[in-house]
Homo-oligomer: A and B are copies of this chain.
Amino acid sequence: MISRRVPEAVIRRLPKYYAKLCELEAQGVIRISSMQLSQKMGLNASQIRQDLNYFGGFGQQGYGYIVENLRENLGDILGLFKSRTMVIVGCGNIGCALANYSDFARCGFSIIKMFDKNKNLVGEKIGDIQVEDIDFLGEFLSKNKVDIGVIAVPKQCAQSIADIFIQKGVKGIWNFAPVDIEAKDTVIEDVRLNDSLFALNYKMINEIYD
């Protein structure tokens, strides 16, 4: 069904549509027009229609979208609820914040193990997740199917952790270290807090309020 390459900006908006539709569904909204949805999301209606058309449409002219259907369809497109497994390397504040964030599990992403180089943490639990010695990361990845590797270590160590993930066939790396990861045939998603803060500051200077 997908004939054209979906632009990065559209991929970035999909989770936002999904979140908004979950919220609307929870509020008991059955049907919504692209115009109404656009007002709730600070986008314009034609943008929404254009974005959804990449995946085949879903709406009906003059009728709008069935909220539950569209939410389910977008969930499928995003691959949610498919039981993805994750491990987190690094038990600092970021690693712990992720381990304690229950929303991931609810969407099908299970954190099955954490790793740290601090031997005192080994065997401890963070939330419900057991901490293992970083030296056993490779062995663990050989024995267990892990879809997503989370890098929450200082930037000096990030590439060496990534190399282990890549070598063991982990297909996605969620990188919280402020450094570029070199990889081929592995999807890298960077979370750069600086980028977000700088964009906020730019908008403040230029008084961009949407």
Contacts and interface: CB of A to CB of B under 8 A. Distances in A.
Contacts of A133: none
Nearest to A184: B209
Contact of A96 (B19, B93, B147, B201): B93
A58 interface: no
A209 B189 contact: no
Interface residues of A, number: 60
Contact of A80 (B19, B172, B174, B201): B201
A68 B148 CA distance: 37
A16 B209 CA distance: 22
Interface string A83-101: 0100000001110111011
A79 B171 CA distance: 37
Nearest to A189: B200
Interface in A1-38: 2, 6, 8-9, 11-12, 14-16, 18-19, 23
